[in-house]
Amino acid sequence: MQKGLWQMAFSWLTEPVMPVPSVVPVVKRKAVKHIDLDLTQWCRDTATSLGLTELAKTVEVVWNSRMRSTAGRAWWPQRLIELNPKVKEHDPEQSARTLRHELAHLIAYERAGRRKIAPHGIEWRHACAELGIGGESVCHQLPLPRRTHAKRFLYYCPQCRIEIKRVRKIKGAMACLACCRSHNGGHYDKRFRFVERHH
């Protein structure tokens, strides 16, 4: 897995969030999201058992029908887990594992607070082990047919030179989160705005 895939980005148009695993679009597409009360309750109980009271109070699990080949995503500090309904159809057992994978992200971020951690670093792996999925892979992708159209837009961070590919043109400003974190305390900084690379 390419390192760049796990690089994160955010936009000044939205609240600073922690998208996992990859960059998020600036424009929020309308998505059909159904909260899953059972899975939400399971996460709340698990967080309670780990003594993470804030997480236990607010974590929510939703099924997002607009997700394509990404199995799950975790958002912090929103404390939201999005799951791809295709996971259920593809392999029901996998949805329990995906849920644990994503909850492990929230647990790791919850414990880290403002301290910067790697998305799939030691804190996440530790949380995975606590949730019974030690040795979990960092991959969020489903073995589903990918969208057929190629990612036509190529961008790079002028600082770290990481490249990201997008199907659509980036609207608005989007900066490299890794560099914003390293050099600007995690706040949006136009110096690290992604630049389009023309082939």
**Contact at 8 Å (CB) between 149 and 165?**
no
Q: Does 83 bind Zn ion (CB under 5 A)?
A: no
Which one of 37-45, 56-64, 142-150, 154-162 is the stretch in contact with Zn ion (CB under 5 A)? 154-162
Residue 93 or 150: which CB sits closer to Zn ion?
93
Identify the residue among 157, 164, 174, 175 touching Zn ion (CB under 5 A).
157
Q: Alpha carbon of 142 to those of 80, 87, 149, 174: distances in Å? A: 20, 7, 17, 26
Q: Does 164 bind Zn ion (CB under 5 A)?
A: no
Peptide bond into 77 cis (omega under 30): yes
Query: Shortest gap between Cβ of 149 and Zn ion (angstroms)?
Result: 25
Q: What are phi and psi of 97, to 5 degrees?
A: -70, -40
- Please enumerate in sequence order all residues whose Cβ is within 8 A of that of 136, keeping only pairs 6 or more positions apart, or say none: 97, 100, 101, 104, 125, 128
Identify the residue among 14, 69, 94, 159 touching Zn ion (CB under 5 A).
159
Q: Does 67 bind Zn ion (CB under 5 A)?
A: no
Query: Shortest gap between Cβ of 94 and Zn ion (angstroms)?
Result: 14
Which one of 58-66, 86-94, 129-137, 149-157 is the stretch in contact with Zn ion (CB under 5 A)? 149-157
DSSP 3-state assignment of 176? strand
Query: Shortest gap between Cβ of 165 and Zn ion (angstroms)?
Result: 15
Q: Which of residues 175-194 bind Zn ion (CB under 5 A)?
A: 176, 179
Query: Shortest gap between Cβ of 159 and Zn ion (angstroms)?
Result: 4
Query: Shortest gap between Cβ of 180 and Zn ion (angstroms)?
Result: 8
User: What does the alpha-carbon distance between residue 177 and residue 174 come to, in Å, rounded to a whole number?
Assistant: 9
Buried b (16+ CB within 10 A) or exposed e, 130-146: bbebeebebebebeeee
